[in-house]
Amino acid sequence: MTALVDNLKNSANKVRAKVEELELQMHLGKKESIDEFENQKKNMKDYLHGAEDNLKNAKDISADKMSSLKTKLEELKVQLALGKAETAEKFDEQKSKLQHKLNDIESDIVDLKGKADDKTVEWASGLSETFDDFKTKMDVFRLNVALGSADAKDEWKEKKEDMKQKLQALKSKLNDTTIEGGEKLNDFNAEIAESFSHFKSAFKKIF
């Protein structure tokens, strides 16, 4: 039971760290967001190097599927290496291309979850989660870039305030220290995961 509780607490702490990172990123200005976008692109490239190494050891994947995934991961790394997105237009262009490639790879790894061995399924789930987090960060940066433009509309300001309130509500839930015990903690984690998913979905609807 102790191991289960520890795992559940670790899961909650993992979400808490993501929420706190997003909270910091939502307070960035246009220039800082563009710089942080570059930093996150580099982090993703580094992550993909490890993901590719793990893919080599994957089991129950056909040669064709393995080759396709390797090619797409390489293509994603090329796109991540594109120059700095100095303007809103260039940011949108890079974001669109990255989003398309991320979705393309995710559609491939979804098929693995019901067919591959446990270790490969864990790898695929981790990749999918990392991609989803990266897309949310891109949405945060895009909103900041829009607000930093000379013709920024009040509409963008309202949307950002709304998202900040949603994030704060989620953070308040995570700071609930009264949750103890395996079953209650499990329900709490499920609620937090659902709330975080709703937050990310709300961001996607902005664009």
Q: Residue 5: its pLDDT value, please?
A: 58
Q: Which among 14, 62, 22 has a CA at the least distance from the CA of 174? A: 14
- Round the CA-based radius of gyration of the chain to a whole number and report it: 19
pTM to 2 decimal places: 0.83
Per-residue confidence (pLDDT) for residue 184, from 0 to 100: 61
Task: Report the pLDDT value the prediction gives residue 39, as an integer from 0 to 100.
Answer: 96
Answer yes or no: are the C-beta atoms of 51 and 127 closer than 8 Å: yes
| pLDDT tens per residue across all 207 residues of the chain | 466 556 667 777 888 888 889 889 989 999 999 999 999 999 999 999 999 888 887 777 788 888 899 999 999 999 999 889 988 899 999 999 999 999 999 988 877 766 667 788 888 889 999 999 999 999 999 989 888 875 656 777 888 888 888 888 888 877 765 555 555 656 767 777 777 787 778 777 776
Mutual angle of helices 30-56 and 63-80, in 10-degree steps: 160
Maximum C-alpha span of the chain = 56
